[in-house]
Structure 1
């Protein structure tokens, strides 16, 4: 998540980090490029308690002079012992994301606190169909759900609708290209589409949610993540198609200073 989670994302669901959570030292193991503006950072976090797909963490940086700042980022990985993966997207003129992407080197350390959040999560015991709707880097927590499902051999049918400005902005390209059993993926391009893409360029529409999605009669759980405007539009389209509002879970990006 490229910024602080918006407190409006799940009103009334207790979004603040529980007081019992403590800061843990995280050492960068490696990093890999996901797109022209995003990287995945892989950390070893001794004492990591594990997490659920869809949760996020707070990241704290502290300078030698004592100045400290923190941001929240979604967890991208399935649980894997003490190892944690975050995908960070560069925020223009940001304070934290350029440091994490360009300056932090393997062996360097930061502090993590988490996991945080209990509403926007997918649990392996869920068996109902799932519709994932991602706007830009809103794919990150949804990718954690896809990976957890794969790791546990989950049979719940998943469908992913991924909206990005243009192909160069896509995350996890090789992984999504390989596909996963039971995962259907469709793309919406809002600025520039690849050659022969069957859909015209433009914003998300109701028919985008019908073609790759589940009908309201299938009673899927819908997870929608992305910038606030995208999330509000997608949630409104889903309710307009007859989906139960109680089965639509949303996560929004708020301003953070990057």
Structure 2
């Protein structure tokens, strides 16, 4: 059973990797003087690399319309792969062309910056990689004592400086800026991406208030935020938002947190259950209400996925604080036949038992909560024999999600009927 998300994700990859570079390729290939035929392929490599880097910058603005289609985790994965691929093509461009003076200098500076930021980001911003390599994860933990998250974000922004160097690099090449159709494409795309990024940084954020901050369990805080009656947020069940604390140094860069409650029902209040895993989240326990909070969102595809699937049976698999977005999702699914598997390392890590007690009164809801992992058979034996009417949502650590996706697909559940929203970016 093919679902819309599969099509949207495939079209996003196709469009970004192949369709976006086409106007650049077409205009420069037809206008390039014959004297540069020996360098034609390398010039095309550089052109594609620039178009991909512009696309990567645009994706970093978190376009809301694309998030609802393919999800922010997929967008960030695209962002990372595009950037790495662009650096690879930039190397081929650099070794296959000749230049001098400021043209050469700016090109070299840009390439070196791109390469340095890529290596840095593979440790600090590529959770999909560190979640698979424990040694790299340990190195990241050690280095985070010095290179905190806010500094890491600023280092990553050096990509913008490098892209600016390439922009000037192109303008300094006389035979390139003489190709009018190419320059129209080049300038239009560059200005559009620059304007999108500028708007992303200056657009008004929803000014909210932290009104409660309590400890749910060791190293686990519940934050309650009061929103203004009128706000710019577009929230739905299962969403996450980005929070910043503008009055607290070191906490002014947005961090994503999933919403515990159904945002449509709680009188403009949002609740979050947050584990202290990093320098930002560990400081949350120290914040005394009231405190100003800026909120941007919402993001997420859990509700969209369930709506698109229209399942006869919904299975939820959650571990630890990964349950949080699924709580608001299930709060809204009042008539959906649901089987919920939820485990934690300790009894204290099994959050909000009162919600599960209330949901157990629904005729179509069954929950299994336990300390320690579920065995494969625990879950497989509860699946309906007919897999076509089944949808599975997963929340929790990336390793847990990979395990269950592997087990479920090996036992007849199509991959398109399973959704997991990774927080590994």
TM-score, length of structure 1 as denominator length: 0.75
Take 2:387 and 2:287, find their aligned partners in 1: how far apart are those partners? 49
Where do residues 164-179 of structure 1 align in structure 2 (5 Å cutoff)?
A: 164-179=344-359
RCO higher in 1 or 2 (8 Å CA, sep ≥ 6)? 1
Q: Which of the two has greater helix per residue?
A: 2
**1:114–1:157 distance in 2 versus 1, CA, 3 Å:** same
**Does structure 1 retain, via aligned residues, the 8 Å contact 2:316–2:338?**
yes
Instruction: Measure the CA separation in 1 of the matches of 2:352 and 2:359.
Output: 11
Are 1:209 and 2:379 an aligned pair? Answer: yes
Give the TM-score taking structure 2 as reference length.
0.48
**Contact 1:225–1:251 (CA under 8 A) maintained in structure 2:** yes
CA contact (8 A) 1:59 1:70 kept: yes
Q: 1:13 aligns with which of 70, 73, 90?
A: 70
Q: 1:219 to 1:67 in 2, by over 3 A?
A: closer
- CA 1:33 to 1:48, structure 2 compared with 1: closer, same or farther past 3 Å? farther
Aligned match of 2:396:
226
> Is 1:59 aligned with 2:250?
no
Mean CA deviation greater in 212-221 or 118-127: 118-127
Contact 1:40 1:87 in 2 (8 A): yes
Correspondent of 2:325 among 134, 137, 141: 141
In the TM superposition, 1:67-78 aligns within 5 A as 68-78=252-262
| Conservation of the 8 A alpha-carbon contact between 1:24 and 1:113 | yes
Counterpart check, 1:128 vs 2:128? no
* Aligned counterparts of 1:244 and 1:148: Cα–Cα separation in 2: 25
Deviation sequence 1:141-197 (CA, Å, 0-9, x none): 110112122xxxx3111111012112121111232234441321113432xxxxxxx
Give the greater-gyration-radius structure (CA). Answer: 2
| Count of residues paired in the alignment | 227
Confirm whether residue 254 of structure 1 aligns to residue 400 of structure 2: no
1:112 aligns with 2:283: no
Query: Which has the larger share of strand?
Result: 1
